Structure 1
Amino acid sequence: MIEGRKIIIPFNRQEIASLKEAGEIAGRCAETMRMWAEDGIGRKIGGKWAISRPALLMRLEGNTAALKAYWKGDRSSPEISRYFEMAGVPLGSSQAKDR
């Protein structure tokens, strides 16, 4: 994880996509998804890359302001929560804490 960036924190399994799944969503190859993950839309969990679905959508729309807010831990402002809704990721108290 990039130092200080809250990527997939708190942990929510529904938020993550594999490199292959993210590539299918974005219309890009898995190698591009790995580079994007390293650039701030994913992190390694259990030695494998996990892509944040909402962060991927932010990246695809070019919404750097939303992505920076996400990195700081914003999950509740309307601008951020709409990406979670678009990705089909529920927000709320049912999220498991980061492991």
Structure 2
Amino acid sequence: MTGALDRYFVLTPYDPDEVMTLQQAAARARKSPGTIRNWCESEGLGRRIGGEWCVSKVALEMYLDGEKRALGRYLSGDRESNDVVSYFRRFDLRAQRPLNAR
């Protein structure tokens, strides 16, 4: 699955304020850290940085809300659509478009 995740723009550009640990994400989702790690791998909700899993608050919230279209846009690098921007605003984050996004 690593190859598939390489094309995702999760946590890109990197903003430490957007990051949650596996444990924080697990508490938010009321799931185990292992489940969150699996979601990071299968759904693109996070990525490994410095050997540790970092979970996107934005992506996790979209996933928990069932907002698959918004999540798909986020993962493709869209930081301008209203549904994507609304999640960044929810966490008082600035939505910055990745340089290499389509």
**Which TM-score band applies after superposition, normalised by the shorter structure?**
0.7 to 0.9
User: Are 1:7 and 1:43, in contact at CA under 8 Å, matched by a contact in 2?
Assistant: yes
Aligned residues: 93
**2:54 alignment partner in structure 1:** 50
RMSD between aligned alpha carbons?
A: 1.6
Could you list the structure 1 runs, at least 4 aligned residues long, displaced by more than 2 angstroms after superposition.
none
Q: Measure the CA separation in 2 of the matches of 1:32 and 1:4.
A: 22
Q: What do the CA deviations read for 1:41-87 (whole angstroms, capped 9, x no partner)?
A: 0000000000000000010011111111001111122100111122x
> Structure 2 counterpart of 1:10, which letter?
P
Following TM superposition, by how much is the alpha carbon of 1:92 offset from its aligned partner in structure 2, in angstroms? 5.4
- The equivalent residue for 1:17 is 20
Unaligned stretches of 5+ in structure 2?
A: none
* Larger RCO, structures 1/2 (Cα 8 Å, 6+ apart): 1
2:48 counterpart SS class:
strand
> Superposition pairs for residues 25-40 of structure 1, below 5 Å?
25-39=28-42, 40=44
Alpha carbons 2:79, 2:95 under 8 Å: kept: no
Matches within 5 A, 1:1-99: 2-39=5-42, 40-86=44-90, 88-91=91-94
Percent identity for Structure 1 against Structure 2: 33
After TM superposition, the score normalised by the length of structure 1 is 0.86
